[in-house]
């Protein structure tokens, strides 16, 4: 999908500042379309006339354009109307509705001004298919849209500090609208906005009341007040904040309205997000619980490893010492995975860091008398948490096996671990420059590796004797199944 800049530059160059300004406008013009009950279309002048580079349909009423108009040229009868708006630098209303197929459309054109210069033309297009008197809500919505459109012609909208883009709980026009004067008094409150404030404990109408005073009377715990709340409810800052009182939570967004650079009031959007915030708190609690569980499992596994270490010191038989050391190493590897999981809320584990730590630990424990250099090539990437323990054990066992059996009678050696990754599969090659395999291993470690690869990771592995050492090729699936 092409960006606005890519679409616009098909018909002529744009500076970075112009592209940023138009992108900021289109990121916020859904509010204007909903307030105006109208389609908005942005036009750029080209040698042959005007071409549409962006459009926005209202969610509060029917659309004028059933098809996408981006990339189409304005009809010959509309060019003079668009050029007049560009030249005069003000809103130009059409004298007569134009006919699109079987219905009439009333169109207003206005320049999009940046730093005192018009860089595009915006049209507000409303279907005249239904003729009736406007309700009080519609009149106030259209009045608010007129304020914002006039700011566009003066280069005062969009506002750089405005909170735009997809944000969870962001209020929309349909959620509730208030209009404020220059001192924060309510000049209009939509029925949905009244319902939102009634949930907070506000009784009676809001008309002609000071919104800053109303909200200050609601908040009893001053220590929990967002510092931006006062600026938002007065309409002084183009920002967004939450107001939480009596178990209810409102998301508030202010859009200051100015005339010739002087503040004249504001449009305030509000939305009841009580249920959304409750679910977010539940998720945070669950995430904290899961992290705490991983932390406790890690501590318990480290305790088990310490007990195995103590037990190994009290036994004399070499085979028993070796078996306990291997068990301790495996438990420590699993503890390392849980330590990693306890430090993140993600369901994906950055396995490169985890693999580096587990391989170094395996090499140090397996044969303290041999200096082993581990070389890593490629990236493991992000691995789903449910596969991390099994994959870490597989790599640890294979590195341990290479150290214990590949460098017998040697003081140093090199193990190369190569990872090749795509969206669903991971190939890992563990090669050493040791004595090489005489036969496929049949010990407990190899049995553990085979079981984990085939049953837990849905993969396969191959043992090879190669020139200058041995090699194990592991292929596993690392996508949720």
**Which two structure tokens, joined as six digits, stand for 173?**
């026009």
Residue 82: band (very low, low, confident or very high) from pLDDT cuts 50, 70, 90: very high
Q: How far is CA 228 from CA 120, 130, 212, 340, 462, in A?
A: 34, 42, 12, 37, 62
**Which two structure tokens, joined as six digits, stand for 188?**
């209009």
Report d(CA 119, CA 167) in Å as an integer. 29
- The predicted pLDDT at position 372 comes to 78
Hey, which CATH number is domain 173-272, 3.30.420.40, 3.40.50.1370, 3.30.450.20, 2.102.10.10?
3.30.450.20
Q: 45-56: per-residue pLDDT in tens?
A: 999 899 999 999
Q: Lowest-confidence range among 104-113, 174-183, 466-475?
A: 466-475
Average pLDDT score over residue span 342-349: 71
**CB 268 within 8 Å of CB 235:** yes
Average pLDDT score over residue span 104-130: 90
**Which two structure tokens, joined as six digits, stand for 457?**
């990771």
Q: 346-481: which CATH architecture?
A: 2-Layer Sandwich (3.30)
Q: Does residue 167 register a pLDDT over 60?
A: no
Average pLDDT score over residue span 112-128: 93
Nearest alpha-carbon partner for 109 in 131, 137, 81: 81
Average pLDDT score over residue span 160-183: 81
- The predicted pLDDT at position 456 comes to 82
Same fold, 4-153 and 346-481: no
Report d(CA 229, CA 253) in Å as an integer. 10
Average pLDDT score over residue span 330-357: 75
Average pLDDT score over residue span 174-200: 95
- The predicted pLDDT at position 354 comes to 79
Q: Does residue 163 register a pLDDT over 70?
A: no
Average pLDDT score over residue span 212-241: 83
- The predicted pLDDT at position 400 comes to 79
Q: Does residue 470 register a pLDDT over 70?
A: yes
Beta strands at 348-350 and 248-259: parallel, antiparallel or unpaired: unpaired
Residue 344: band (very low, low, confident or very high) from pLDDT cuts 50, 70, 90: low
Q: Which residues, including other chains, have CB under 8 Å from residue 261's CB and lie 6 or more apart?
A: 154, 156
Q: Does residue 129 register a pLDDT over 90?
A: no
pTM listed for this prediction: 0.66
Percent of the chain with pLDDT over 70: 90
Residue 367: band (very low, low, confident or very high) from pLDDT cuts 50, 70, 90: low
Report d(CA 251, CA 233) in Å as an integer. 11
Q: Give 401's DSSP letter.
A: H
Report d(CA 415, CA 430) in Å as an integer. 7
CA 188 to mean position of chain CA atoms: 34
Phi, psi angle pair for 164, to nearest 5°:
-120, 180
Average pLDDT score over residue span 388-416: 79
For the chain, what is the mean pLDDT?
Answer: 85
- The predicted pLDDT at position 438 comes to 61
**CB 428 within 8 Å of CB 419:** yes
Q: How far is CA 182 from CA 216, 235, 403, in A?
A: 18, 8, 76
Q: Residue ranges per domain, the chain?
A: 4-153, 173-272, 274-344, 346-481
- The predicted pLDDT at position 277 comes to 81
Residue 226: band (very low, low, confident or very high) from pLDDT cuts 50, 70, 90: low
Residue 401: band (very low, low, confident or very high) from pLDDT cuts 50, 70, 90: confident
Residue 447: how many other CB atoms lie within 10 Å: 12
- The CATH number given to 4-153 is 3.30.450.280
3-class secondary structure, 478? coil
- The predicted pLDDT at position 58 comes to 95
Write the DSSP assignment of 314-363 as a string of letters: H---HHHHHHHHHHHHHHHHHHHHHHHHTT---SEEEHHHHHHHHHHHHH
Q: Does residue 127 register a pLDDT over 60?
A: yes
**CB 394 within 8 Å of CB 358:** no
Q: Does residue 364 register a pLDDT over 90?
A: no
Q: Give 184's DSSP letter.
A: S
User: Which residue matches tokens 């259209």?
Assistant: 142
CA angle 44, 47, 50 (to 5 degrees): 30
Structure-model confidence comparison of residues 409 and 205, the more confident one = 205
Of these ranges, 44-58, 423-437, 465-479, the one predicted with the greatest mean pLDDT is 44-58
Q: Lowest-confidence range among 7-11, 40-44, 197-201?
A: 7-11
Q: Does residue 70 register a pLDDT over 90?
A: yes
Q: 246-295: per-residue pLDDT in tens?
A: 888 999 999 999 998 899 999 999 999 988 888 877 777 777 777 787 77
Q: Does residue 481 register a pLDDT over 60?
A: no
Q: Lowest-confidence range among 27-31, 66-70, 101-105, 377-381?
A: 101-105
Write the DSSP assignment of 242-272 as a string of letters: EEEETTEEEEEEEEEEEETTEEEEEEEEEEE
Structure-model confidence comparison of residues 290 and 384, the more confident one = 384
Average pLDDT score over residue span 400-412: 75
Percent of the chain with pLDDT over 90: 37
């Amino acid at each position: 999908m092409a960006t606005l800049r890519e679409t616009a530059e098909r018909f002529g160059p744009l500076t970075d500042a112009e592209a940023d300004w138009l992108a900021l406008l289109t990121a916020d013009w859904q509010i204007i379309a909903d307030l105006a009950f109208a389609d908005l279309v942005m036009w750029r002048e080209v040698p042959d006339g005007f071409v549409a580079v962006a459009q926005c349909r209202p969610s509060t009423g029917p659309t004028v354009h059933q098809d996408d108009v981006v990339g189409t040229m304005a009809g010959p009868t509309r060019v003079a109307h668009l050029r007049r708006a560009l030249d005069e630098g003000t809103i130009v209303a059409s004298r007569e509705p134009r006919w699109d197929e079987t219905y009439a459309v009333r169109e207003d054109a206005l320049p999009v001004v940046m730093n005192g210069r018009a860089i595009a033309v915006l049209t507000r297009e409303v279907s005249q298919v239904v003729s009736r008197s406007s309700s009080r809500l519609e009149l106030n919505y259209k009045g608010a849209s007129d304020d914002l459109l006039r700011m566009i012609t003066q280069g005062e909208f969009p506002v750089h500090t405005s909170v735009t883009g997809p944000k969870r709980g962001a209020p929309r026009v349909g959620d509730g609208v208030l209009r404020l004067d220059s001192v924060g008094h309510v000049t209009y409150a939509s029925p949905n906005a009244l319902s939102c404030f009634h949930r907070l404990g506000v009784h009676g109408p809001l008309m002609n009341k000071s919104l800053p005073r109303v909200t200050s009377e609601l908040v009893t715990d001053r220590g929990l007040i967002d510092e931006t709340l006062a600026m938002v409810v007065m309409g002084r800052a183009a920002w967004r904040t939450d107001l939480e009182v009596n178990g209810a939570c409102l998301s508030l967004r202010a859009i200051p309205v100015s005339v010739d650079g002087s503040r004249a009031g504001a449009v305030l959007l509000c939305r009841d997000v009580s249920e959304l915030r409750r679910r977010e708190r539940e998720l945070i609690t669950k995430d904290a619980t899961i992290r705490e569980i991983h932390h406790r499992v890690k501590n318990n596994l480290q305790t088990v490893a310490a007990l195995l270490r103590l037990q190994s010191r009290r036994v004399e038989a070499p085979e028993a010492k070796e078996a306990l050391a291997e068990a301790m190493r495996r438990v420590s590897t699993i503890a390392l995975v849980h330590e990693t999981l306890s430090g993140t809320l993600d369901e994906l584990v950055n396995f490169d860091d985890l693999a580096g730590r587990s391989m170094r630990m395996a090499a140090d424990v397996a044969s303290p008398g041999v200096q082993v250099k581990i070389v890593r090539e490629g990236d493991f990437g992000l691995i789903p948490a449910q596969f991390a323990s099994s994959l870490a054990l597989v790599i640890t066992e294979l590195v341990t096996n290479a150290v214990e059996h590949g460098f017998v009678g040697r003081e140093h050696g090199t193990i190369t671990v190569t990872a090749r990754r795509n969206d669903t599969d991971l190939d890992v090659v563990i090669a050493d420059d040791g004595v090489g395999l005489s036969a496929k291993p049949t010990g407990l470690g190899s049995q553990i590796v085979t079981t984990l690869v085939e049953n837990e990771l849905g993969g396969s592995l191959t043992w090879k004797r190669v020139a200058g050492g041995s090699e194990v090729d592991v292929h596993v699936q690392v996508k949720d199944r």
